Structure 1
């Protein structure tokens, strides 16, 4: 008896559910969501576990949370959109747009450019104050028994001390900034890849200065609305908070809700449902068929910008490390995968696609791990998604 492809596809989805559930049962993560997409649509998306353990609230495809550094890929899109609109040029010196002076004191005559920010070669570093001064508690939450730090160095500051992105950047980077200590590398701008969260936030701040729009507003207009990412945003007031997942330092320890002054570097709030639409658009864009940027802009976004000379060390062990090369805030693994990883208090995330087959995978977790067991489970789920993606893609076509 013949079965049609949709029945087979359901069977593949069911088998995939079972395999992922088996890994979930090991107890490393409280809740997470995964998806597989191609250039046309989402082939598979599913939530597992709980978005709130205490309330036994299921983690669904519409559960939202921040996704850590996968957020940076949106900063890259926003930069190219601002360039398309004639508001800036990637090769402009950053100083053209800033109300305070930023120079690497070791190279005072070498201007830093926007492109260098986007390729992590600006010589701007994340100093100790990035972890101790950038994160703030969400106002009006119950903090009974809540942890007010993460990994000892990372501190959740009181909500009444929240500051703007501009104030934070001025304090950390300007010549007379009170937290300007070890903020710059001994390498000159444009020379060496040194991953920088602060540099990412500065790129977003420059978009604000160049366009006259708040970064969150600019990205809503030019990315989220066109892609119908209705559950996504950068601020708690932009999203429906009842859908927001609790975040956990480990399966037993809940973290307080927090926000960051440097939010564009990791604070994008979204669901697997919305993020799947975004990854489909990225694959389309890579193939010259994107809708939110011109083919020319997408080509620049996805063109590896660096050479071996720009790296002191290169990751050739993990195919899913984005630190082998970089486009415009878009990472490249050494085997050719394109995308980004992310980690923040209570957050682990991965988003990559394979340009050879136009298939992409995403995972978002609400629980951190730091041991081999957690790492094996994390990549175990990633590998199971890969195992089924070709099959689901065939059945879909």
Structure 2
């Protein structure tokens, strides 16, 4: 596995691919001709981008309208992808973590613009700006000044299994002077908290830890009880070990011009990108996110908090591939419109979710292949097509 995997992480056999595009499960009442046209379109995009397996979901006005799976979850075993296949969704996890934090805002347990230090059992300050507090809003918007520079310099990966390093130990080692991975120069940016955008997995690791402490329960349990259970997300797991082998999407990387399976990767910062979910499950979460926090009569977050999450701002140093940043959700161009979204990437993983706030529609797309220029284009093309039409 190359170091380029780690750099691209969370920043987001060609000969057999004609057969890989056979749809796997349910049309949900869509007219046959329209569905066949969509199936043909997805097959074409998968062939062009060499995507082994793909799962697709569309929601409108709080209701899942379409879910479908294409290709293979496991090429070697000829196991087709299904709408229950659990894909590693990587950094889209951050939208779930942000929702869990906003639930605590709804509960009155925290305020977005207060310092987080009072909720921690260890000291936290940017050594370059010790008098400037770090807030929840800054962590959610990637403006906290917590830097991933040292995170990428150190290999925290564990191949084929969940990380054994506890989240608390990871954070204390990284953020507290004297910690074994602490560096004033590379664990914190020179910019003051709140003054510049700097994408931070460590920041979202800290949010997971904070949510666990404030909610008096591990955030993973909170999300199971307050998000996954109400939305009937039965095939969603925070761990590799909790993902049943028959439901796993095998990740594939490009090696010497062909797709090769790679082991899943475990990281200690689970709240930043370790979630695994099926398209049938996650489209329900997208449905709620696009519909003011409620899907199929189940409210997971208040309308006010959901609106705040999708309120897009433009902090300094925002990269040109983004048009703005919300709380958890980002925004970038899709066709001619700036649209809230989040992408995810890890070894053998590329995923995306988009929200069209005007029509209360959302789309999720999961693939089990490493991101490439062709796959990014294919995913954007599919998202655009799904959001433009009222039916698939």
2:345 aligned counterpart, secondary structure: strand
- 1:212 alignment partner, one of 208, 212, 216: 216
1:292–1:170 Cα change, 3 Å: same
Q: Tell me, yes or no, if structure 1 residue 360 matches structure 2 residue 385.
A: no
Is contact 2:196–2:318 with CA below 8 Å preserved after alignment? no
Which of the residues 195, 199, 222 maps onto 1:191?
A: 195
- Retained in 2: the 8 A contact 1:16–1:384? no
8 A Cα contact 1:16 1:385, kept in partner:
no
TM-score (norm. length: structure 1): 0.83
Contact 1:12 1:388 in 2 (8 A): no
Give the secondary-structure state (helix, strand or coil) at the position aligned to 2:359. Answer: coil
Structure 2 gaps, min length 5: 1-27
C-alpha RMSD over aligned residues: 2.4
| Residue 392 of structure 1, CA deviation | 4.2
The offset of 1:278, in angstroms, is 0.9
For the pair 1:115 / 2:169, whether they are aligned, the reply is no
1:311 to 313, 316, 332: 316
User: Bigger CA drift: 38-47 or 97-106?
Assistant: 38-47
**Offset of 1:127 from its aligned partner?**
2.1
Q: Give the direction of change, closer, same or farther, for the CA distance of 1:266–1:92 in structure 2 (3 Å limit).
A: same
Q: Report the counterpart of residue 42 of structure 1 in structure 2.
A: 64
Q: Greater CA deviation, 95-104 or 115-124?
A: 95-104
2:73 and 2:81 in contact (8 A); partners too: yes
Name the CA shift for 1:254/1:282 in 2 (closer, same or farther; >3 Å): same
Q: Does the 8 Å contact 1:29/1:368 carry over to 2?
A: no
Match of 1:69 among 63, 84, 91: 91
Tell me the equivalent position of 2:7. none
Q: 1:231 aligns with which of 221, 232, 235?
A: 235
Question: 1:1-397 maps to which residues of 2 (within 5 A)?
Answer: 9-26=31-48, 28-130=50-152, 132-139=154-161, 162-181=164-183, 182-250=186-254, 251-285=258-292, 291-304=299-312, 306-307=313-314, 310-315=315-320, 323-333=322-332, 335-370=337-372, 375-387=373-385, 389-393=387-391
Residue 197 of structure 1: how far off its partner (Å)? 0.7
User: Do the aligned partners of 2:356 and 2:387 also contact (CA within 8 Å) in 1?
Assistant: no
Tell me if structure 2 keeps the 8 A contact 1:49–1:58: yes
Post-superposition offset of 1:196: 0.5
Do the aligned partners of 2:293 and 2:300 also contact (CA within 8 Å) in 1? no
| 1:205 counterpart SS class | helix
List per-residue Cα deviations over 1:105-129 (Å, max 9, x = no partner).
Answer: 1011111111110111100010233
Paired positions, count: 356
**What's the offset of the Cα at 1:33?**
1.1
Question: What's the TM-score once normalised by structure 2's chain length?
Answer: 0.84
* 1:311 Cα deviation from its structure 2 partner: 1.9
